[in-house]
Amino acid sequence: MNQNRNVNDENRLNDTRNRDIVVKMLNERGVELVEIAELTLDLQAKYIDGLTLEMCLDHVERVVMKREVQNAILTGLELDILAEKGHISEPLKSMLMNDYGLYGIDEVLALAIVNVYGSIGFTNFGYVDKLKPGVIKKIDDLGKEEGRCNTFLDDIVGAIAAAAASSIAHRFA
Protein backbone atom coordinates (compact mmCIF):
# COMPACT_ATOMS: atom_id res chain seq x y z
CA MET A 1 0.00 0.00 0.00
CA ASN A 2 2.65 2.46 1.11
CA GLN A 3 4.82 1.57 -1.80
CA ASN A 4 1.94 2.15 -4.22
CA ARG A 5 1.33 5.53 -2.73
CA ASN A 6 5.00 6.45 -3.17
CA VAL A 7 4.90 5.34 -6.80
CA ASN A 8 1.77 7.43 -7.37
CA ASP A 9 3.33 10.47 -5.71
CA GLU A 10 6.42 10.05 -7.83
CA ASN A 11 4.35 9.75 -11.01
CA ARG A 12 2.51 12.93 -10.14
CA LEU A 13 5.79 14.74 -9.60
CA ASN A 14 7.07 13.48 -12.95
CA ASP A 15 3.90 14.64 -14.71
CA THR A 16 4.25 18.10 -13.18
CA ARG A 17 7.93 18.32 -14.08
CA ASN A 18 7.25 17.12 -17.63
CA ARG A 19 4.36 19.56 -17.88
CA ASP A 20 6.83 22.41 -17.28
CA ILE A 21 9.22 20.95 -19.86
CA VAL A 22 6.61 20.56 -22.61
CA VAL A 23 5.12 24.03 -21.98
CA LYS A 24 8.62 25.54 -22.22
CA MET A 25 9.25 23.57 -25.43
CA LEU A 26 6.00 24.86 -26.95
CA ASN A 27 6.91 28.43 -25.92
CA GLU A 28 10.33 28.09 -27.50
CA ARG A 29 8.67 26.89 -30.70
CA GLY A 30 6.53 30.07 -30.65
CA VAL A 31 3.29 28.81 -29.10
CA GLU A 32 1.68 30.00 -25.85
CA LEU A 33 -0.96 27.85 -24.12
CA VAL A 34 -3.41 30.76 -24.31
CA GLU A 35 -3.19 30.63 -28.13
CA ILE A 36 -4.19 26.96 -27.96
CA ALA A 37 -7.03 27.93 -25.60
CA GLU A 38 -8.23 30.42 -28.25
CA LEU A 39 -8.59 27.53 -30.71
CA THR A 40 -10.50 25.56 -28.10
CA LEU A 41 -12.83 28.50 -27.50
CA ASP A 42 -13.36 28.71 -31.26
CA LEU A 43 -14.31 25.02 -31.35
CA GLN A 44 -16.63 24.96 -28.33
CA ALA A 45 -18.13 28.48 -27.99
CA LYS A 46 -21.09 27.67 -30.25
CA TYR A 47 -22.07 24.69 -28.08
CA ILE A 48 -21.64 26.12 -24.59
CA ASP A 49 -23.17 29.42 -23.46
CA GLY A 50 -20.85 31.62 -21.44
CA LEU A 51 -17.70 29.64 -22.21
CA THR A 52 -14.67 31.84 -21.52
CA LEU A 53 -11.03 31.82 -22.58
CA GLU A 54 -10.05 31.18 -18.94
CA MET A 55 -12.18 28.02 -18.85
CA CYS A 56 -10.61 26.85 -22.10
CA LEU A 57 -7.11 27.54 -20.75
CA ASP A 58 -7.95 25.51 -17.65
CA HIS A 59 -8.82 22.51 -19.86
CA VAL A 60 -5.70 23.00 -22.00
CA GLU A 61 -3.72 22.83 -18.73
CA ARG A 62 -5.45 19.53 -17.85
CA VAL A 63 -4.57 18.11 -21.25
CA VAL A 64 -0.83 18.91 -20.92
CA MET A 65 -0.80 17.18 -17.51
CA LYS A 66 -1.53 13.83 -19.16
CA ARG A 67 1.43 11.59 -19.73
CA GLU A 68 0.36 10.33 -23.20
CA VAL A 69 0.03 13.96 -24.29
CA GLN A 70 3.40 14.94 -22.84
CA ASN A 71 5.09 11.99 -24.58
CA ALA A 72 3.57 12.92 -27.94
CA ILE A 73 4.66 16.57 -27.54
CA LEU A 74 8.20 15.59 -26.50
CA THR A 75 8.54 13.22 -29.46
CA GLY A 76 7.04 15.42 -32.16
CA LEU A 77 8.79 18.65 -31.21
CA GLU A 78 12.11 16.82 -30.85
CA LEU A 79 11.78 15.53 -34.43
CA ASP A 80 11.07 19.07 -35.73
CA ILE A 81 14.13 20.37 -33.87
CA LEU A 82 16.41 17.50 -35.01
CA ALA A 83 15.29 18.09 -38.62
CA GLU A 84 16.20 21.79 -38.34
CA LYS A 85 19.62 20.87 -36.94
CA GLY A 86 20.22 18.46 -39.83
CA HIS A 87 20.44 15.48 -37.48
CA ILE A 88 17.99 13.33 -39.45
CA SER A 89 18.93 11.11 -42.41
CA GLU A 90 17.35 11.05 -45.85
CA PRO A 91 14.71 10.43 -47.00
CA LEU A 92 13.04 11.44 -43.73
CA LYS A 93 14.99 14.70 -43.52
CA SER A 94 13.50 16.12 -46.75
CA MET A 95 10.02 14.88 -45.89
CA LEU A 96 10.12 16.72 -42.55
CA MET A 97 11.83 19.89 -43.80
CA ASN A 98 9.39 20.20 -46.74
CA ASP A 99 6.33 19.13 -44.71
CA TYR A 100 5.69 16.46 -47.35
CA GLY A 101 1.92 16.03 -47.67
CA LEU A 102 1.92 12.23 -47.85
CA TYR A 103 4.21 11.72 -44.83
CA GLY A 104 1.20 11.46 -42.49
CA ILE A 105 3.02 10.41 -39.30
CA ASP A 106 2.64 13.93 -37.86
CA GLU A 107 -1.14 13.40 -37.87
CA VAL A 108 -0.80 9.84 -36.54
CA LEU A 109 1.31 11.02 -33.60
CA ALA A 110 -1.22 13.78 -32.86
CA LEU A 111 -3.95 11.13 -32.59
CA ALA A 112 -2.27 9.93 -29.39
CA ILE A 113 -3.29 13.32 -27.95
CA VAL A 114 -6.79 13.37 -29.47
CA ASN A 115 -7.42 9.80 -28.24
CA VAL A 116 -7.16 10.80 -24.59
CA TYR A 117 -10.77 12.05 -24.58
CA GLY A 118 -12.28 9.52 -26.98
CA SER A 119 -13.98 9.87 -30.33
CA ILE A 120 -15.33 13.43 -29.90
CA GLY A 121 -11.74 14.58 -30.28
CA PHE A 122 -11.46 13.27 -33.85
CA THR A 123 -14.15 15.57 -35.20
CA ASN A 124 -12.59 18.58 -33.49
CA PHE A 125 -9.13 17.67 -34.72
CA GLY A 126 -10.36 17.25 -38.30
CA TYR A 127 -11.96 20.68 -38.14
CA VAL A 128 -8.79 22.40 -36.88
CA ASP A 129 -6.64 20.51 -39.40
CA LYS A 130 -8.89 21.58 -42.29
CA LEU A 131 -9.58 25.24 -41.43
CA LYS A 132 -6.15 26.07 -39.95
CA PRO A 133 -7.46 28.83 -37.67
CA GLY A 134 -5.45 31.30 -35.56
CA VAL A 135 -2.17 30.03 -34.26
CA ILE A 136 -2.18 27.04 -36.66
CA LYS A 137 -1.89 29.41 -39.60
CA LYS A 138 0.97 31.23 -37.85
CA ILE A 139 2.78 27.92 -37.25
CA ASP A 140 2.30 26.85 -40.88
CA ASP A 141 3.63 30.17 -42.20
CA LEU A 142 6.67 30.05 -39.87
CA GLY A 143 7.30 26.46 -40.97
CA LYS A 144 7.68 27.60 -44.58
CA GLU A 145 10.67 29.79 -43.67
CA GLU A 146 14.11 28.57 -44.75
CA GLY A 147 15.64 26.17 -42.25
CA ARG A 148 12.49 25.96 -40.15
CA CYS A 149 10.51 22.77 -39.50
CA ASN A 150 7.03 22.84 -37.95
CA THR A 151 5.83 19.57 -39.45
CA PHE A 152 4.81 18.09 -36.09
CA LEU A 153 4.05 21.34 -34.24
CA ASP A 154 0.86 22.27 -36.15
CA ASP A 155 -0.74 18.87 -35.58
CA ILE A 156 0.31 18.74 -31.94
CA VAL A 157 -1.16 22.18 -31.23
CA GLY A 158 -4.38 21.34 -33.12
CA ALA A 159 -4.65 18.07 -31.20
CA ILE A 160 -4.19 19.75 -27.80
CA ALA A 161 -6.92 22.27 -28.71
CA ALA A 162 -9.20 19.45 -29.89
CA ALA A 163 -8.55 17.38 -26.75
CA ALA A 164 -9.30 20.40 -24.53
CA ALA A 165 -12.55 20.97 -26.47
CA SER A 166 -13.48 17.33 -25.85
CA SER A 167 -12.63 17.67 -22.17
CA ILE A 168 -15.02 20.66 -21.99
CA ALA A 169 -17.72 18.77 -23.90
CA HIS A 170 -17.48 15.86 -21.43
CA ARG A 171 -17.65 18.29 -18.51
CA PHE A 172 -20.83 20.00 -19.79
CA ALA A 173 -22.50 16.88 -21.24
Min dist CB 34 to Ca ion, Å, is 22
Q: Site residues (CB under 5 A) for Ca ion? A: 106, 151, 154-155
For residues 61 and 107, which CB has a smaller minimum distance to Ca ion in the complex?
107
Nearer to Ca ion, 115 or 151 (CB): 151
CA 79 to mean position of chain CA atoms: 14
Q: Of the two residues 51 and 159, which places its CB atom closer to Ca ion in the complex?
A: 159
CA geometry: angle 154, 17, 65, nearest 5 deg: 55
CB nearer Ca ion, residue 56 or residue 156: 156
Q: How far is CA 168 from the centre of its chain?
A: 16
In the bound complex, what is the minimum distance in angstroms from residue 19's beta carbon to Ca ion? 23
The nearest distance, CB 41 to Ca ion, in angstroms, is 22
Instruction: Give how far the C-alpha of residue 38 lies from the chain's centroid of Cα atoms, to the nearest Å.
Output: 13
Instruction: Give the nearest residue (CB) to Ca ion.
Output: 106
Cα(79)–Cα(61) distance, integer angstroms: 23
CB of 106 to Ca ion, least distance (A): 4
CA separation for the pair 106, 20 (Å, rounded) = 23
Overall residue count recorded for the chain in this entry: 173
